[in-house]
Amino acid sequence: MDGQPIYQFIHDSLPGQARLNEPMKFHTTWRIGGPADVLVEPVNMENLRLTLDLVRKHNLPLTVIGNGSNILVRDGGIRGVVLKIGARFSKVTAENNKITAGGGTKLVRLVNVALSKGIGGFEFLAGIPGTVGGAVVMNAGVNGAAICDVLEYALLIDLSGETIMRTSEELGFGYRMSNLQGASLIVLEACCLGVSGEKKDIQKRIEEILEKRKNTQPATSASAGSVFKNPPGSSAGFLIEQAGGKGLRIGDAIVSTVHSNFIVNLGKATAREVLDLIEKVKELVIQRFAIELTLEVKILGEDHVGGDIMWKGL
């Protein structure tokens, strides 16, 4: 069994949880992306393990996503199985300044639970439109703070369905990276440790962070967050603006006039337009500063349906 028959089999085996030829634009914050052969959003561990078993037995390409906030899916879509760890994996518990959150938990919920329990240390995550799983894989953060600062351990699952616990130290965290990138491991849950705090003080810090984001980022526009990593000792947004990239537009993709390290989809932008804009911005910065910017967003999929796979991983 291969090709479309196996995808149909997956669809039929997981009623209501699998979609054939699913446009990825519905599953990314950029609202861009061609079709996945099959997208699966399992409702429980049993069906997650069933999906992984089929992927392993049939040697299918696998891409794992959360809220789709840090990815650009090419216009040809993604071959194989896209596994979305979503709302059914978003249980959150809190006790003694420890919060355990499922991989599909949105960061906004994690922040709100911490606030409700008087647990500080999670405020920096306010406004980041990702999930706990994605945050661990990418070591998400802002202004010098990152998920590695609060993470104690992550519970993972491999393609055989076995669960593995790894401590923060074992995850090889760096700037917007961990050793989970490219590994066949999926974040099931994360245990994080905060500090006791007054709710009013935590609330104030959250409000200040959200207000700053509102004033300095295109928070209400379709984007994927920061496109480039900040080079050592500098800011990608500053370099892009100084190089003349602010407001640069190709089709419906535009470098934000609010924050130059964001590319916004004005409505009908394609992945090709975004990729061309990325290259143009990189050229401007190289010409002006002799610095080559490195992507923070992950590029997934292929340019044309049925073409060679351009990227594969978790």
Whether 226 is catalytic is yes
- Write down the catalytic residue from 22, 41, 123, 296: 296
- Number of C-beta neighbours around residue 234 at 10 A: 11
> How confident is the prediction for the chain on average, in pLDDT?
94
For tokens 């355990």, the residue is: 100
Q: Could you name the CATH architecture of 88-203?
A: 2-Layer Sandwich (3.30)
pTM as predicted: 0.92
| The pairing of beta strand 62-65 with beta strand 92-95 | unpaired
Distance CA 207, CA 212 (A): 9
Fold of 4-87: 3.30.43
Q: Are 70 and 225 spatial neighbours (Cβ–Cβ below 8 Å)?
A: yes
Query: What's the pLDDT score for residue 219?
Result: 87
- Write down the catalytic residue from 90, 168, 223, 226: 226
Whether 279 is catalytic is no
306 pLDDT tier (thresholds 50, 70, 90): low
* Residues 78-137 pLDDT 10s: 999 999 999 999 999 999 999 999 999 999 999 999 999 999 999 999 999 999 999 999
- Number of C-beta neighbours around residue 174 at 10 A: 11
CATH of domain 226-296: 3.90.78.10
- Write down the catalytic residue from 176, 178, 189, 273: 176
Whether 249 is catalytic is no
Question: Residue ranges per domain, the chain?
Answer: 4-87, 88-203, 226-296
Residues 6+ apart with CB under 8 A from 84: 27, 39, 40, 41, 64, 65, 66
* Residues 231-266 pLDDT 10s: 999 999 999 999 999 999 999 999 999 999 999 999
